[in-house]
Amino acid sequence: MSALMVSVSGIRGIVGDGLDPEVLVNYTSAYADFVKSGKVVVGRDARISGEMVLSIVTGTLLAKGLDVIEIGICPTPTVQYTVKTMNANGGIAISASHNPNQWNALKLLNDTGQFMSPEQNLDMLEILKEKNKIFKKWNELGKLTHTDEGLKRHVNDVLKLKHIDIEKIRKRKFRVLVDCVNGAGVYVIPELLREFGCEVIEMNCEHSGIFPRLPEPLPENLTETMKAVVENKAELGVVVDPDVDRLVLITNNGEPFGEENTITQAVKFILSKEKGNVVVNLSTTRAVDDVASEAGSKVFRSPVGLTGWRGKCCKEDERS
């Protein structure tokens, strides 16, 4: 049996070689005992194994007496946002993020829609050690609700962000090439860009759930995409990973704008509109500190999480 990657963000492994039904039931059951009661939001990315994993996770949560709000194929941030906006007691995003087709994962969220704190994760891992799992009787099972409101609400609220001048953007009529690697982004990113008045050129936007290239949006994996931006005379390229929690922008010259530049520009824009401090993770560029300093703001840095091999914490993982 292959090793399972375990961190505060959840569990990750290869389907059929580590991430098996028994493992999914065990971790979901422990998570349900951690949540205790109430409702849990569940969503997934588009990969082929997602439907199988979703069925097991949902069934286990219902068997533990928790109500499940299933929001379909959507970005991981949408699951997080829906936990918050629906006042849920927790959430599970089924996605192995930028890992290849054979991988999948459970990203476990607390009642704020964020990943568990190290303390919360340790509490859940203690529950996992318990051998006897208690499931509810037939008349105490949880209730399942299917809804597409999670993604709709997320998109609508993005369009209403107070510092976004949507009409000004629409008048610009940007020509944008978007590469969603056939993942969850297909279900939202092209349409979102059209809402911003963009002319959208779709690449790797099939509803197949099979990644046509290595899905991590690194420059070496985006050679064809960068070439396509130039060939289609796009003013901007937009690339997301399978669960849309990573973004890479490509200039009209077919060159990566760089994640460091992207986050720095975002921070600079927000601080130009309102005062406040900045929170980033430990691996974020120090250019953010320079921008914050110019605005008279402070920067606070946090680790993304602690990962382990076979469930034993051992090192920091900055790319969960």
The 3-state DSSP class for residue 165 equals: coil
Q: Name the H helices within the chain.
A: 21-35, 50-63, 76-85, 118-128, 149-159, 166-172, 189-195, 223-231, 259-273, 287-294
Of the residues 7, 9, 97, 320, only one is catalytic, namely: 97
Active site residue 97: yes
Spatial contact of 197 and 172, defined as CB atoms under 8 Å apart: yes
Residue 37 class from Cβ within 10 Å (0-12 exposed, 13-18 middle, 19+ buried)?
A: exposed
Ramachandran sector of residue 308 (left: φ over 0; alpha: ψ -120 to 50; beta: rest): beta
Q: In this structure, what DSSP letter does residue 241 have?
A: -
* Number of other residues whose CB lies within 10 A of the CB of residue 20: 17
Question: Over the range 23-34, which residues count as b (16 or more CB within 10 Å of their CB) and which as e?
Answer: bbbebbbbbbbb
- Collapsing DSSP to helix, strand or coil, 224 comes out as helix
DSSP state at residue 263: H
What's the rounded Cα separation, in Å, for the pair 73 and 254?
Answer: 30
Q: Which residue has the tokens 């994993």?
A: 53
How far from 98 is each of 84, 180, 211, CA to CA, in Å? 24, 12, 10
CB atoms within 10 A of CB 90: 24
Q: CA–CA separation, 223 vs 226, rounded Å? A: 5
Q: What is the set of active-site residues?
A: 97
